[in-house]
Structure 1
C-alpha cells in the first residue's frame, strides 16, 4: 500500500498505510452535495480509491480517470440517465458502495480550531454532525437513484467522521530550547462516536524504555499541520503529549484513559512531562526518556514506525515518565489495580492487586465479582494499571493515574464487554491481544488519598490455590521485588520472567532510587498490620478459571470477615 500517494490537501489528509484521515474544518467546510462533488478533496479520495482498489467486477467503470469517475457520479445525481447506456447502474452502484466503504475504513478525525471563539466551542459537535449528515445523505441519494427505489432500512453509521476534536492555542511558559513546540495546537475538547473499532499494524509492546544523555526536544522540528498535543492529567502530573497525526488512533484513545487538562491547567503552567510521539529519528530507533533537571521536565521520545502504533507504547511511555517523577519525589509507583469494595454486611475494603502484565490483576477482580453472588454491592476501580503509594507523615495512602482501563478483551466477561460497548474504544478486536479502553472513574476520585486495607501479589505461576499472608516484611519484599510471573505473550516475553518490583515502567530504570522507597513503604505496611500477601491466579497454567475462582472465594470470605 505504501506505493500509493497519500491524499494531502489543506482540508483533508488520508494515509493509506495507517488508514488515518484528518479532516480540517478550519481550512474548508463543505456545506452541500454539489460543493462536495466539485471539491478537490472528493476528487483525491476517488483517485486514491481507484489506485488502490481491486476492481474485478466492474473494470469498464473503475478503469476511468478520477475526473471521469466523478463526472459519472454527477450525471447520476442530476438524473442524466443517458449515462446508463455506457455503464450499467448495478456496476456503478457496486463501485460506489466500495468507494463509500473505502472512505469509512479510515479512522477519520475532524479537526476544528477554536480561535478563542465561544460560538465555535459551543457548536463544534453540531458542525461535525452536519458534515456526517451530508455524507450519509449524499451516499443514500446516489444509492437510491442507482437502485431505482428507496431503502426500507436505514443505518445511522459514522459516515463523515469517526470523531471530532476542538483545538486551541495556549500561552504557557516555554523554556529555552523548547520553542519548536509553540506552534502545536492543544486538543481542547473531543467528541467520540463509540463503539470505535480501530486497527493498527502492531498489537504488542516490546522492550524497555531507557535513558538518554541528550534532550529529545532538539530533534523536534514539526509543523502544526502534522502534530497535535493532548494535554493530560496523569495522577497529579501535567503531561503534554505531542503526537504525529499518523498516531491519531493512540491520540484519540487517550481520551478514555487520562483526564484532559483544561485551559486553566495549561495557561501559564509548565508541564511536568513532555512526550514526543512519532519522531523520525531516535537513538537506536527505540523509546527513551530524559530528565531535564534545569527545568524539571521529564521528556520522552518514541520513534515513528509501525511497531509503535500499538497503544501500549503511548500509554506505557506516559506512565513511565510519570512514575520516574514519582520516584524522584519519594513516592512508590505500583503496577497494579486498586478497588474499593462495598459489601452487603456494611463493610468497605480497599484492595490493591500487584503484578506485571498478565499476572491476573484485572482477572482477580472480575473473579471476585463472579463468586460474590449478592454479597458485593459495588466494586469501584480507583486505578486499573498504575498507581503510587506515598507517605504523609506516618499515614500511607494510594493514588491512581488513569481515569480509564486498557484491558484485554479475552479477560473480560461478555457482560462487561457488552455493557461498556457504547463507551469503548476497541483496538484490533479481531486479533490476539485485542484490547478495549473504557472510562472507569472520575479524576477527582482517582487522585484522592485512599487508605490501603490489603496489598496482594498476583501470583500466576505457583500451583497453590487461595491466598497467602506473609509473616514478615522481608519475605514479602522478596516476592514483590523479584516480580516473578509467567508471561502470556502480551509483550515480547514468554515463559517465566522476573522484573524488578514487577514494574518495567520506572522502578526498573531507577532501581537504586526505588529501593529505599520500597523499604519505607513495606515498613509502614507491617508496622500498621496491613494485610500483605499473594493471591494464586493460576493464569500462567490453568485457563479454566476454576482455580482462580477458588482463590477469589477465599479472598471474598477473608474480606467480609476481617
Structure 2
C-alpha cells in the first residue's frame, strides 16, 4: 500500500495532496513571467507530487524521471532544444504535460496577498491574480504547441492559476486574556471568486449534534499565522470571527457566498459575539462542541481536523449554532426555515416563513409556488434561506430577521432553470454526488437584517399523506406541531426514517430548550393576538418524489395568500 504523500510547504507556495488544497502567497513571492514560473520552486514542488502519484501507474520514461529532470524537459521545450525528442516520445511528453496541467487544476487553489494597508494592493489585487492566471495558461500552451508543432484552433480560458484570491490583513481587536494566540492570525479583507466553482470534499453529509463542553476550546489553539486565517462574518447582527486551518480553504472561501464579510472598521477594536476554531488537532470525542465564555460574553466553537468535517455543512451549521445560542440569550427565537417576500399581480405583498428541519420541503415549497403561479407572482424576494430569528422591537411588535446573505441548497431541490440561471455565481460542492449542494448569493446584508413583518408562518410537513394547507385553530395546537419538529429524513444528514427534533432546530434550541420555551410561548401568543396565519403545508416529500402533490398544496397556498 502506497504511503500518503505529505504536504509541501514554502513561504510562497503550499500544496497538500491529502486535502487537495493549494495556497499561493503573492506577498512572499510573485511570478511575473513564464521563465520565472518554469524556474520556480513552486512548480518543482508541484512536479514532485505529480510524479510521485504517476510513477506507480505509468512506466513511461518521462514520468519515471526525477522532478528536476522533468522540469529540465519543460525548459528544453521552451528554448526549442529538439534533442529532448530524441530521448522521449513526443506523444508521451504531450500526454504527461496534459496530465500535469489537469493534476494541478484538481486542487482548490487560492492566492493570498497581505494588504499592509496598501491602497495599491487593495485596488489591483484582481489584476495581480488575473496576470498569474494568464501566466499558467501561457506556459501550458507554449509547451503544448511547441511539442505538437502547430497552434491550437480552439482555446479555452479556464481558471488555470487559481479558483479564488483573498486580501488578508492583521487587525487589532480587544483580545481577552487567554485568547492571545489569535492575535497573529490574519483576517480575510476582500475576496475574489471565479465562479462557477466546482469544489470537492471527502465528506458530503453532516452527522450528529453540537454540544457544550466545560472548558474553553481556546486553550487548545496554538495555530501559526501562515497556517490559519480568519473570516470575519456578519451573521444577522452578530459579529463572528471564523478561524480555519488552510486545509479548509474550500469552506473558508465558500463562506463568501453565504455571509457578509465584516469590514476593517467593523473589526478593529471590536470584540466578537462568536469565535469558531475550525480544524483543531483534536476535540473531545473528535466531534464539534461549543463553550459559553460568560466572563467575556463570547460563544466559542470547536471543530476537529478530519475528513468528515470537510463537508461545508459543518462550517455553516456551527456558525449558525453559535449565533442562535447568542440569540436565545438575547431573548430572540431562532427560526430554522426560509422567509420570502412575495409580490402579486393583484397588488398585494405578503411575507411567508416556511419552517422545518433539513429535508422537510421549505425550499421545495417556494419553488412549487413559483412553478404554479404563472403570471400571478411578480417577484419573490428571499429574506433568509435557512436560518433567521423572531424578535420584539421596543414597542412590543414582532418582527423577523435573517442571518445569511446566501443560500446553501441541494441541487436536487432546484429546477433546472434556477440552477442554470445562477450557474455563473454559484459555488458547487460535490456536484456529481448525492446531496450535491450549491451556495448562491441571495440578498443584500442590509435587506436581510431589516425588521420584516410576518404575514404567514407555515410548518413544512413532509410526513403526513394529506395534501394542501392547514391552519391551526389555536396557539396550543400550533405549538404542539412546531415544538415536536417531526419530519421524515431524506438523506441530507445521518438520520433515517421518522425523526423528531425540538422546535425543528438542532442548532441552538435543542441545546438550550429550557431557555427557548418561554420565548416560543411569547412569540405564539403574539402571533395569535395579531391574527397572523399559522399553519402547515403538506409537502408530501416523504411519499411523492414527483412533487405533483406538493404543487397541489402550493395552489392552496397561492389562493390563501392572494385572496385573504
Please report how far the alpha carbon of residue 234 of structure 1 lies from its aligned counterpart in structure 2 after TM superposition: 0.1
Please report how far the alpha carbon of residue 171 of structure 1 lies from its aligned counterpart in structure 2 after TM superposition: 0.9
Quick one: distance in 2 between partners of 1:325 and 1:487?
Answer: 28
Quick one: distance in 1 between partners of 2:54 and 2:549?
Answer: 50
Q: Compute the TM-score of the two structures, normalised by the length of structure 1.
A: 0.99
Structure 1 segments of 4+ aligned residues over 6 angstroms from their partners? none
Alignment-derived partner of residue 375 in structure 1: 376
- The answer to whether the 8 A contact 1:2-1:16 is kept is no
Deviations 1:194-236 (A, max 9, x none): 0000000000000000001110000000001100000000000
Gaps of 5+ in 1: none
Task: Say which of 450, 454, 479 aligns to 2:452.
Answer: 450
Deviations 1:60-107 (A, max 9, x none): 111100011111111100000111111111110110000000011100
Please report how far the alpha carbon of residue 40 of structure 1 lies from its aligned counterpart in structure 2 after TM superposition: 1.1
- Residue 519, structure 1, aligned to residue 510, structure 2: no
- The answer to whether the 8 A contact 1:58-1:95 is kept is no
Please report how far the alpha carbon of residue 442 of structure 1 lies from its aligned counterpart in structure 2 after TM superposition: 0.3
Quick one: distance in 2 between partners of 1:533 and 1:490?
Answer: 25
- The answer to whether the 8 A contact 1:409-1:435 is kept is yes
Note closer, same or farther for the CA distance 1:477–1:213 as it changes in structure 2 (3 Å cut).
same
Alignment-derived partner of residue 68 in structure 1: 69
Please report how far the alpha carbon of residue 464 of structure 1 lies from its aligned counterpart in structure 2 after TM superposition: 0.4
Alignment-derived partner of residue 556 in structure 1: 558
- The answer to whether the 8 A contact 2:4-2:18 is kept is no
Alignment of 1:316-327 (within 5 A): 316-327=317-328
Please report how far the alpha carbon of residue 35 of structure 1 lies from its aligned counterpart in structure 2 after TM superposition: 1.1
Quick one: distance in 2 between partners of 1:211 and 1:391?
Answer: 28
Alignment-derived partner of residue 23 in structure 2: 22
Alignment-derived partner of residue 102 in structure 1: 103
Deviations 1:403-460 (A, max 9, x none): 0000000000000000110000000000000000000000000000000000000000
Quick one: distance in 1 between partners of 2:263 and 2:542?
Answer: 42
Alignment-derived partner of residue 337 in structure 1: 338
Note closer, same or farther for the CA distance 1:293–1:57 as it changes in structure 2 (3 Å cut).
closer
- Residue 36, structure 1, aligned to residue 37, structure 2: yes
- The answer to whether the 8 A contact 1:24-1:111 is kept is yes
- The answer to whether the 8 A contact 1:259-1:403 is kept is yes
Alignment-derived partner of residue 430 in structure 2: 428
Give the 3-state SS of the residue equivalent to 1:373 in structure 2: helix
Gaps of 5+ in 2: none
Alignment-derived partner of residue 271 in structure 1: 272
Quick one: distance in 2 between partners of 1:286 and 1:61?
Answer: 45
- Work out the number of aligned pairs and report it: 562
Give the 3-state SS of the residue equivalent to 1:471 in structure 2: coil
Deviations 1:12-32 (A, max 9, x none): 111111110000101110111
Give the 3-state SS of the residue equivalent to 2:83 in structure 1: helix
Alignment-derived partner of residue 477 in structure 2: 475
Please report how far the alpha carbon of residue 56 of structure 1 lies from its aligned counterpart in structure 2 after TM superposition: 5.3
Please report how far the alpha carbon of residue 302 of structure 1 lies from its aligned counterpart in structure 2 after TM superposition: 0.3
Please report how far the alpha carbon of residue 541 of structure 1 lies from its aligned counterpart in structure 2 after TM superposition: 1.2
Quick one: distance in 1 between partners of 2:343 and 2:271?
Answer: 39
Task: Say which of 490, 493, 501 aligns to 1:491.
Answer: 493
Q: Compute the TM-score of the two structures, normalised by the length of structure 2.
A: 0.99
- Residue 127, structure 1, aligned to residue 128, structure 2: yes
Please report how far the alpha carbon of residue 394 of structure 1 lies from its aligned counterpart in structure 2 after TM superposition: 2.5
Please report how far the alpha carbon of residue 362 of structure 1 lies from its aligned counterpart in structure 2 after TM superposition: 0.4
Quick one: distance in 2 between partners of 1:161 and 1:38?
Answer: 19
Please report how far the alpha carbon of residue 333 of structure 1 lies from its aligned counterpart in structure 2 after TM superposition: 0.2
Please report how far the alpha carbon of residue 9 of structure 1 lies from its aligned counterpart in structure 2 after TM superposition: 1.3
Task: Say which of 394, 397, 404 aligns to 1:395.
Answer: 397
Give the 3-state SS of the residue equivalent to 2:331 in structure 1: coil
